[in-house]
Amino acid sequence: MGTPGEGLGRCSHALIRGVPESLASGEGSGAGLPALDLAKAQREHGVLGGKLRQRLGLQLLELPPEESLPLGPLLGDTAVIQGDTALITRPWSPSRRPEVDGVRKALQDLGLRIVEMGDENATLDGTDVLFTGREFFVGLSKWTNHRGAEIVADTFRDFAVSTVPVSSSSHLRGLCGMGGPRTVVAGSSEAAQKAVRAMAVLTDHPYASLTLPDDAAADCLFLRPGLPGVPPFLLHRGGGDLPNSQEALQKLSDVTLVPVSCSELEKAGAGLSSLCLVLSTRPH
């Protein structure tokens, strides 16, 4: 899901999916992942939904958990949304591809125009796509290939689309994000800094930049809320998560900081932007 930036309508809806019990075991959450404290993960998810609804004034739509889809809560990987168009992705992992079905139906019900990825050679995870409000950057990673990026460009022809190599095991938005309408925030790792340098070379637009001690802190969501007269929000990791980055985030003076925790969900590979889809215009 592209992060809303300058020139876009205010957000109206947020879509999340409940945490299934199958995520509690290491086997259920995927090979090599640790077992989760299910109650803590569900609390974190509930707080996130509450912040989206009560703090940001969005209409919250929650898909029920599906035990056959332990990584279903990471629904940010399943679609890229801009305006009234939703590109349904083709996740790299075949076991995750059924996750798109419930998301597709929910977005159809909201009146969005649905675009499918029909090319079996294409892979695309939504959290490899960063929308700045002016253009798209697509991370070429373990999960997203060139053909997936080409389909993003074909779908959103009104915007420039550039590809950024991701030299770590992260998605692009696990390394950098939008901290405001003209500010890119990025982690301090070499992979994050390399991605930011590549973006700076590729863009025709001037962006300020802010480096954070933790890569995961850059996985944030800049949102223009649905409430009139309310300044933009930055939904970011807080609540004791990533304490080294909290002071640096205070430098973002043109947004209201809204902290949430996802330290337990992070064990299943969840970044903040993977846990929700936000619609940046009101669908018909």
Nearest C-alpha neighbor of 158 from the set 84, 232, 78, 79: 84
In the chain, where does DSSP find H-type helix?
Answer: 38-50, 99-109, 146-155, 190-202, 246-249
- Catalytic one among 11, 176, 220, 276? 276
- Both structure tokens of 188: 């301090």
Give 169: exposed, middle or buried? Use CB within 10 Å, 0-12, 13-18, 19+.
exposed
Is 11 marked active-site? no
Q: For residues 119 and 102, what is the distance between their CA atoms, to the nearest angstrom?
A: 20
Catalytic residue among 13, 45, 171, 236: 171
DSSP-derived letter for residue 282 is -
- Nearest to residue 16, comparing CAs of 47, 58, 57, 45? 45
SS3 content of the chain, % helix, strand, coil (to 5): 30, 25, 45
- End-to-end CA, the chain: 19
Is residue 276 flagged as an active site residue?
A: yes
Catalytic residues: 171, 276
